[in-house]
Amino acid sequence: MADRGRIPRLIGRSRNQHPRPFDDVVLITGATSGIGAGLATRFHARGAQVVITGRDRTRLSAMAAEHPGMMPVVMDVADPESVRRAMNDIESAQPHVTTLINNAGVQRPLDFSAKELPAITDIAAEIATNFTGLVDVTSTALPLLRRAPRARVVHVGSGLGFVPLTAAPVYSATKAAVHSFAVSLRHQLRYSNIQVVELIPPVVDTPLHRSMQAAPPMAMPLDKFLDSVMAGLDSGGDEIAIGLGRVSIIGSRLAPSILLRLINRDSPPP
């Protein structure tokens, strides 16, 4: 059990403004870079109490120092004990959570046609971060979400969950699982105070693609993507598909084989 007196209640906000109902207390996983960091700064600028989580204490502290009022909490979504310690700390500091954004993710290029097959440790770590950790964080956060008058869970999926990038097969499969989980969770919580939102991005220019020599072709600039996300969240919809993410959904239903070839046209043959 975590020391519940370790983190003081943070009641100050970044601006003297009344936040939107869903913006009261926003908890974001994987919040120290890319989409997570971008969303954290956007909500912080709107006056929300933002709880940022990640594995790297130094990066969390630096981000909180740059944005006074953010609450940094170390949490490795792939480690159930870490998730529970972090949630205990958050519960000791906040009355509830109004928005949970499951953003933490990792993408690895894995080639199952190679002579040297991918290591099971790499496969398991990717699944644990992208999917089982997302399910665990959601389940563990539900009591805090239920305490709010209105709350929402936002799962960051991907257009690759509908049409896979074959060079990243495990990542694509985990995002397909995120979509399925979002649909089921939305159905189970339909009579509760909790909305379930699936965010379906296109390729966005973020450190997620750090293993690549350059940003992927047609990658959307992060700021442009964040503008669309915030507008989509404010609209109140259950599904926010942006740019090529929306194209992937439509294409997977109307012309799946054609879109599969287009997305993977630069992939080398086995």
Just list the catalytic residues. Answer: 171
Q: Distance between CA 161 and CA 247 in Å, rounded?
A: 12
CB 84 within 8 A of CB 140: yes
Q: Going by C-beta distance under 8 Å and a sequence separation of 6 or more, which residues neighbour residue 85?
A: 2, 75
Strand extents, DSSP E, the chain: 25-28, 49-54, 71-74, 99-102, 151-156, 194-200, 239-241
Say how far residue 111 (Cα) sits from the centre of its chain. Answer: 25
Cβ pair 152, 100 in contact under 8 A: yes
- The answer to whether residues 46 and 17 touch, using CB atoms and an 8 Å cutoff, is yes
**Which tokens in the block code for residue 10?**
């943070």
Structure tokens, 156: 């960051």
- For 147, 171, 196, the CA distances from 184, given in Å and listed in that order, are 22, 20, 10
Q: Element (H or E) spanning 260, and its range? A: helix 256-263
- Tell me the one-letter amino acid at 211: S
Candidates 4, 51, 5; CA nearest to 24 is 51
